[in-house]
Amino acid sequence: MRQITELEFSLIESKIRKAADKIGLDDRSTGFLYLILDALFPRSGEEISSLITDGGNDRGADAVYIQESGSFVHVSIVQCKYASNIKNSKKNFPGSEIDKLISLIRDITDRAPGLIESVNPLLKEKIIDVWRLIDSGKIIYIHVFLVSNAMPLVVHERSRFDAFCTQYEFVSVEELSYQSIISLLSSDGRTKENGILDTVDVQKYERTDCDIRGLVANVDAKSYIEMISNEGGSIKRHLFDENIRGFLGLDGGYNRQIHQSALSEENHLFWYLNNGITIIAKDFTHQKVRGSKIHLTDFQIVNGAQTSYSLLEAYKRDSERVAEVVLLVKIFASSRPDISEQIAIATNSQARIAPRDLKANDPIQKKIAAVFEDNNLLYERKKNQFENAEEGGRIDSLKLGQAILAYRLHEPHLAKTASDEIFGSMYNLIFSEKLDADYLVKLARLYLFVNSVRETELVVLRRQENFESNGEFIAYTQWYIMYCISLMVGGAELNIPAEEEFDRYFDRARSVISQIAEKYKSQSFYRVFRSVKTKELIMDELGIGQLRFEF
């Protein structure tokens, strides 16, 4: 891989500066971490700050994101290395860092004695969360991201990590060096790329209708894998339609069944068991002869994120075996963007446009935006709509929906666990025309205040060098704090304290939540502050009820 250029380095620096300014930090390294987490997990309902475990005794884990999906748990561990100047950006990712991660993963899976006592409070809570999910019968997968605005691992160090992943089959690794980061963050949203696929025999069918062409073909998996991966063996994320990329980022898109199917002695069945890949291109060319190549111009993959990533990982494990796989590919070419979008939506349920984006132009969303604008607040109907604006007076539609759920509807657990339904089944309940404009503005300001104090506490917590802190619960509790304040205010559900009283109400609510955290510190905060039962515990502390629970 070639070294980074001055222009490329300055492009990434500009994005880091913007991210650091947005969160009000002078620390570029933390700004880089925020930037990467926001790009990797764009659909996360979690606050970015709650994912960060960076600090003293983080064992190489700068951030941990836990996502439950049915009987599976996907744990993403992110390690970021920031090069502050172009000289350092020409160095490789330090091999010594992977030893920390290998040691950490082994200790987590082996439940090594003394592990909890040796890590910082934020990482401790994440580890406890993972253990409790395993105890509940969940199947765990760990995906490691090695991220740097410099060069990737040298070959022998990467081989060493791959060997570890072979030993622990539920662990996978992905590198994001400067080239991948530029692709993720470039201003046009993606890098245009051409590709070549090798077909199997003459197994192709082409159709043309007006301004769209389609081709269905059987291709060999090796040519597809080579097309979607870079020199370092990592997947080219920019090839995936942005609607898929959010899914791909959660756990790398890894699918154990696809992986095993490609490596099995009966991998000739792969074609029959897999739905294949769907590609949209500006154009494609091919000859109707045996074994010809398909040339793609400016293509995007709109269906097949799991298949793509899992095939790549299987190929690293046994390239000769996976090279035998035949892959079904559908290719569509059209210059009309509306047709491309329709294909992307129709062909992949995981790639469907986020419900929030579908509601962005809903009349009530536009009305809320107008009200907020009149009150010097920015209301983001789409993610990063006001990317260049300061963070202080900005709230997005998802966070407002969560605030309404927690404060007005008294459902803080749903604000945490059912955020996907805010723009789905619960949309009309949450964003009601009955809402008072003044109330929405006050609620938004209350949320911004609560979140600002919470963010400040987390920064202080990450900088502590001792393990005696008992404030790590704050990472999980903003919606329960909002709920607690609504109970303390009392009266009608629309009551919101005056801004000059925010401090007093927050301190009281934090004290209540802190008492609950202390009582249940032997249990996972991840569980406690996702449970409907915690509402009753808050009422108990406020003298409204008398209940105790086990989670």
- d(CA 40, CA 519) in angstroms, rounded, equals 35
Both tokens of residue 407? 């404060």
Q: Which residues contact 544 (CB under 8 A, 6 or more apart)?
A: 487
Model pLDDT, residue 246: 42
Q: Maximum distance among all alpha carbons in the chain?
A: 80
Q: Which residues contact 166 (CB under 8 A, 6 or more apart)?
A: 317
Q: Which residues contact 542 (CB under 8 A, 6 or more apart)?
A: 484, 487, 488, 512
Q: What is the CATH class of 6-185?
A: alpha beta
Classify residue 70 by burial, with Cβ atoms within 10 Å: 0-12, 13-18, 19+. exposed
Both tokens of residue 82? 């920031």
Q: How far is CA 490 from CA 216, 230, 506, in A?
A: 63, 58, 15
CB atoms within 10 A of CB 508: 15
Task: Return the axis-axis angle of helices 28-40 and 6-22, rounded to nearest 10°.
Answer: 90
Instruction: Give me the residue spans of the domains in the chain.
Output: 6-185, 195-352, 356-541
Is residue 295 within 8 Å of 340, Cβ to Cβ? no
Model pLDDT, residue 241: 58
- d(CA 21, CA 97) in angstroms, rounded, equals 28
Model pLDDT, residue 232: 64
- Please name which of 304, 299, 308 lies closest in space to residue 340, comparing C-alpha atoms: 299
Query: How does DSSP classify residue 408?
Result: I
Look at residue 330 and give its three-state secondary structure: strand
Which residue type, as a one-letter code, is found at position 199? T
**Range list of H helices, 468-542:** 478-489, 502-519, 525-528, 533-541
How far is C-alpha 55 from the geometric centre of its chain's CA atoms? 21
The pTM (predicted TM-score) of the whole model is 0.68
Is residue 228 within 8 Å of 203, Cβ to Cβ? no
Model pLDDT, residue 351: 42
Model pLDDT, residue 252: 44
Is residue 179 within 8 Å of 273, Cβ to Cβ? no
Model pLDDT, residue 249: 40
Q: For every one of its 551 residues, what pLDDT tens digit does the chain have, with 9 covering 90 and above?
A: 678 888 889 889 988 888 887 776 778 898 899 989 988 886 555 678 889 999 889 999 999 999 887 788 889 999 999 999 999 999 999 999 999 999 999 999 999 999 999 999 899 999 999 999 999 999 898 999 999 999 999 999 999 999 998 888 889 888 888 888 887 776 444 567 899 999 987 788 999 988 899 999 999 999 999 999 887 677 887 787 554 444 444 344 456 788 889 999 999 999 998 989 999 999 999 988 887 899 999 998 888 888 898 898 889 889 999 999 999 999 999 877 677 667 766 665 544 456 677 788 889 999 999 999 999 999 988 776 776 566 568 899 999 999 999 999 999 999 988 887 898 889 999 999 888 999 999 999 999 999 999 988 888 887 776 655 567 888 889 999 999 999 999 865 568 999 999 999 999 999 999 999 989 888 878 788 888 999 999 999 998 854 444 55
Strands 139-148 and 171-176: parallel
- d(CA 41, CA 147) in angstroms, rounded, equals 14
- Please name which of 444, 359, 362 lies closest in space to residue 403, comparing C-alpha atoms: 444
* Exposure letters 348-374 (e unless 16+ CB within 10 A, then b): beebbebebeebbeeeebebbbebbee
What is the chain's alpha carbon radius of gyration, rounded to the nearest angstrom?
25
Both tokens of residue 202? 């003459």
Model pLDDT, residue 500: 95
